[in-house]
Structure 1
Amino acid sequence: MTTKRALPACARGRFEGPQSFAALVARTGGDWPDTVLEAIHGHPVLRHVDRRELRDGVLEVSARQAVELAALISVGSLLYGPGESLRAPDAERDACLREVVRAAGDGARFLTNHGHAEYGEEADFLASSFHADVLAGPTIDICLLGVSDENVLILWRFEDD
């Protein structure tokens, strides 16, 4: 059973609602997909995520890019693209999202199914159009997973097409 840990207080309200899921959990065992699947088990949309697709359908991104993805997941539309407000600096939002990403733990690796991850450091996760390896079944979804030896950060947004 996963042990939930508290996300930073500033995250309250940023990832809540019917189109998102956010959790910080203690890593169980050695294989991070098992921890993720245990944490999302029972969620009406995410229960369809397949272990093999989860492992094979994500690419690694930098911590800086993880903050950009966290912004998209918190307020961006997967159907209509991120709002222009995400490109504008917002000191409070940006500081909070950096804190959320750091909560994954020291040495965390960040993974996503956002298709622009294949462009490496040149990836633009706030582009108005993008592709993704859909993991959650019949919906469009973007995830950000932060995996360290101690924790797994799970941020997910999903929308019906």
Structure 2
Amino acid sequence: MTAELPARISALVDPRACFTQLQRRTGPDWRRDVIRVVRHPQGIGVDPAPLLREASLDRLRESLAPVARRGAEDLLKLILSGSLFHGLDAQLIESDLVLARSIQEVLDSFGPGVEYFTNHGHAEDGEEAQFLVTGFHFNSLAVTLYDICLIAVDSDRILVAWRFEDA
């Protein structure tokens, strides 16, 4: 069963570069749920299966790092509105209240104990991590040149949001 994303979030998903899916968890290992979601997508946007054909449980364990809530907000904004190759859009820096509320609505819908993960390299900076920067490193999981993800997990649901770009 796929849960619904707010209309504003769904409208922002670039079908050529983004994938987003909110899904019920099926087991205790959320990484297995991520693999299931990307192998059999029911979400919005580009089909992630061919782009993440080499993703595995081991690669997820090695490549994903935890991020704080504030970082999760920035990552979702970057995935939906940014460009990993061309740099940041000015609107990412400026306040877009409708987008910010939509992102908060999605992340607030998760239960207590929600955890966030990404392959963005600045996650290693902990609470001080800056994700809306022009230069960054990442742990690539896709066959594209660039890929950045945000995965939100609680005991019941999982959000998989991914941006893929080639030069």
Q: Which of 24, 27, 34 in structure 1 is aligned with 2:25?
A: 27
Rounded Cα–Cα distance in structure 2 between residues aligned with 1:110 and 1:130: 19
Q: 2:52 aligned with 1:46, yes or no?
A: yes
User: Structure 1 residue 109 and structure 2 residue 107: aligned?
Assistant: no
Aligned residues: 159
Identity among equivalent pairs (%): 38
Aligned to 2:125, what secondary structure does the other structure show? helix
Larger CA deviation: 9-18 vs 70-79: 9-18
1:15-62: per-residue Cα shift (whole Å, max 9, x none)? 241111000111111100100110110522123322211122111111
Structure 1 window deviating more from structure 2 (8-17 vs 57-66): it is 8-17
Matched letter for residue 32 of structure 1: W
Q: What is the aligned-residue RMSD (CA, Å)?
A: 1.4
Deviation digits for residues 109-148 of structure 1, max 9, x if unmatched?
0000001111112211000110100011343100000010
**Matched ranges for 1:99-138 at <5 A:** 99-138=105-144
Distance 1:10 1:138 in 2: 26
- Structure 1 residue 4: deviation in Å? 1.5
Bigger drift between 39-48 and 24-33 goes to 39-48
TM-score when normalising by structure 2? 0.89
Q: CA deviation at 1:100?
A: 1.9
Q: Aligned equivalents of 1:115 and 1:60: distance in 2?
A: 11
- How far 1:107 moved relative to its partner? 2.0
Aligned to 1:37: 35
> Which one of the candidate residues 70, 79, 82 is aligned to 1:73?
79
Letter in structure 2 aligned against 1:26:
R
Kept in 1, the 8 Å contact 2:120–2:139? The answer is yes
Is the 8 Å Cα contact of residues 135 and 141 (structure 1) preserved in structure 2?
yes
* Partner residue in 2 for 1:96: 102
